[in-house]
Amino acid sequence: ISGFSATGLFPIDIQKALQSLKPKEKKRKSFEAPTTPRKRQVVAETVWVTPQGSKDIQKQLQEAQKDGNLSIRDFNCILKKVMKSIDQKNSQIQHLEEEKAVLKASAAAKAPTGRVPVQFNPNQAFPEIEQIITARDQAEKNVLRQVEENRRKPRRKKPPKIPTVESTFFNQHPKS
């Protein structure tokens, strides 16, 4: 009050005069933030398992359509499960293909080759050209012999079909 008396002003409401000296909060324009709609409660708690085949997918779609209206939530859930199932099958196929390639490579590595060691005099530093040519020719003969043996191997013949009682009956009495 002493500050007011020196200036010659005498306020009626001292608190109002002091509030004008305080920094004012800026008032925002009226802005209404968007409100998130409440979640709808799911009446039927159907658990959708990941389908392992097309029959499972068909059963799930029929189950979802049983009520008459297929909700977007159920449809999206089924589609996600289908995508997951397809991804699992694709990764399984890729894994099996890699395993198959490894098995093929190991079988090819175990197969006998036409290699023949070069016979040379241990007292010499290097083998002579004739010895190398002889070893190469022997290796080619080994490969040709293996190819011929593979051709000569007899293939298993399927035994002839023995007619069953039902097939003989239907052959004797055709439909009229």
DSSP one-letter string for the chain = -HHHHHHT---S-HHHHHHHHSPPPPPPP---PPPPPPPPPPSS----PPPSSHHHHHHHHHHHHTTS---HHHHHHHHHHHHHHHHHHHHHHHHHHHHHHHHHHHHHHHS----------TTSSS--HHHHHHHHHHHHHHHHHHHHHHHHSPPPPPPPPPPPHHHHHHHHS---
- Residue 78 covered by a domain: yes
Q: Is the Cβ–Cβ distance between 11 and 17 less than 8 Å?
A: yes
pLDDT tens per residue, range 13-55: 777 777 777 777 776 677 777 888 777 665 656 677 777 777 7
What residues contact 5, with CB distance under 8 A and at least 6 apart? none
Residues 91 and 130 in one domain: no
For residue 93, pLDDT beyond 90:
yes
- Residue 106 covered by a domain: yes
- Residue 76 covered by a domain: yes
By residue range, what is the domain housing residue 148?
A: 113-152
Residues 98 and 139 in one domain: no
The last residue of a domain, from among 83, 111, 139? 111
Residues 65 and 103 in one domain: yes
pLDDT at 172: 77
Q: What percent of the chain has pLDDT over 90?
A: 8
Residue 96 token pair:
């099996």
Residues 99 and 139 in one domain: no
- Residue 95 covered by a domain: yes
- Residue 18 covered by a domain: no
The band of 97, judged by pLDDT with boundaries at 50, 70 and 90, is very high
- Residue 33 covered by a domain: no
The band of 94, judged by pLDDT with boundaries at 50, 70 and 90, is very high
The band of 9, judged by pLDDT with boundaries at 50, 70 and 90, is low
Please state the domain count of the chain. Answer: 2
Q: Quote the pTM value.
A: 0.36
Residues 74 and 102 in one domain: yes
- Residue 69 covered by a domain: yes
Out of 28-32, 93-97, 124-128, 138-142, give the one with best mean pLDDT.
Answer: 93-97
Residues 129 and 101 in one domain: no
Residues 101 and 124 in one domain: no
Residues 98 and 132 in one domain: no
pLDDT tens per residue, range 71-92: 777 777 888 888 888 888 989 9
pLDDT at 70: 64
Residue 1 token pair:
């009050």
Radius of gyration for the chain, computed over Cα atoms and rounded to the nearest angstrom: 45
